[in-house]
Amino acid sequence: MSRSIALLICLVGGLTMLVSPFLPMATGWANDVTDWFNILAAMAFVLGGGSLLKVQLMRLSARGPGWGYSAVTLLAFAVTLWVGLGKVGVVADPSAPMVPWSGKPDDEGSAFWWIYLYVMTPITSTLFAVLAFYVASAAFRAFRAKNLEATLLLATAFVILLGRTFAGVVLTGWLPDWASGLRLENLAVTIMDVFNTAGNRAIIIGIALGVASTGIRLLLGLDRSYLGGDA
Partner 1 sequence: MSGLDRRWIYLAMMLAVALPILWNGVTGKTFPESPTPPSQACFDAIEALPEGSRVLVSFDYDPASEGELAPMATSFMRHLMHKRLKPVVIALWPLGPTKAEETIASVIKTDFPDRVNGKDFVNLGFQTGNEGVLKVIGTDFRKQFPVDRSGTPVDRLPIMDGITKAGDFPLVITISAGYPGGKEWVQYVSSSNPGLVLLAGVTGVQASQVYSYYPGQLRGMLAAIKGAAEYEALVSAAIDGDRVTAPKYTEARRRMAPQLFGHLLLIALIVLGNAMYFAQKRCKAVAP
Partner 2 sequence: MVLGADASFLNPDKVLLLVVLAATCVCIVGSMLAARAGSVPRIRRIAGLEAVEEAVGRATEMGRPILFVPGIQDMDNPMTVAGITVLSRVAGTAAQYDATLDVPVSRSLVMQAARESVQAAALQAGQPDWYDPERIRYITDEQFGYAAYAAGAMARDKPAACFYMGCFFAESLILAENGNAIGAIQIAGTAETAQLPFFVASCDYTLIGEEFFAASAYLSGAPDQLGTLRGQDIAKALIALALAGGVVMATIEVFSPATAAESPVEVAP
Partner 3 sequence: MSDAITDQTAPAQGRWWIGLFLVIAVLVAIRAGMGEGMGRVYVQTETTRYASTTNEQGRVAWSAAADGTAGAVTIERDLFRTAGQFRAAESAAPGQQAIRVSWDRTIGLWLAAFFTLAVFSFLAGDNPAYKLTESIVIGVSAGYWMVVAFWETLVPKLLANLAPDMVKAWCMPNLEGGAFNPIALIPLGLGIMLLSQLTPLGRHVGRWPLAFVIGTFAGLKMVSHVESDIIEQVRATMLPLVAFEDDGSFAAWASIRNVLIIVGVLCTLAYFVFSVEHKGAVGRAARVGVWFLMITFGSAFGFTVMGRIALLAARFEFLFIDWLWLIDPKGERAMAVVAAATQLVP
Q: Give the binding site for partner 2 (CB under 8 A).
A: 15, 18-19, 21-25, 34, 37, 40-41, 44-49, 51-52, 54-55, 58, 120, 123-125, 127-128, 130-131, 134-135, 137-139, 141-143, 153, 193, 200, 203-207, 209-218, 220, 222-223, 225-230
Residues 162/168, Cβ–Cβ less than 8 Å:
yes
**Using rule CB under 8 A, residue 139 touches partner 1:** yes
* Residue 28 binding partner 3, by CB under 8 A: no
DSSP state of 64: -
Q: Residue from 23, 27, 37, 166 that binds partner 3 (CB under 8 A)?
A: 37
Site residues for partner 1, 19-48, by CB under 8 A, read: 30-31, 34-35, 38
- Decide: is 38 part of the binding site for partner 3 (CB under 8 A): yes
Taking CB within 5 to 8 Å according to partner kind, which of partner 3, partner 2, partner 1, none is near residue 185?
A: partner 1
166 is a site residue for partner 3 (CB under 8 A) = no
Strands (DSSP E) along 34-139, which ranges? none
- In angstroms, the CA 169 to CA 181 distance is 12
Question: From CA 11, how far away is CA 17, in angstroms rounded?
Answer: 10
Compute the distance between CA of residue 135 and CA of residue 138 in angstroms, rounded to an integer. 5
Decide if residue 147 touches partner 1 (CB under 8 A). Answer: no
Distance CA 75, CA 67 (A): 13
Distances in Å between the alpha carbon of 135 and those of 6, 129, 156?
44, 10, 15
For residue 17, CA distances in Å to 21, 32, 94, 207, 214 come to 7, 11, 41, 20, 15
Contact window for partner 1 (CB under 8 A) among 64-72, 75-83, 128-136, 221-229:
128-136
Interface with partner 1 (CB under 8 A): 30-31, 34-35, 38, 93-95, 121, 124-125, 128, 132-133, 135-137, 139-141, 143-146, 154, 157-158, 161-162, 164-167, 169, 185-186, 188-189, 192-193, 196-197, 200-201
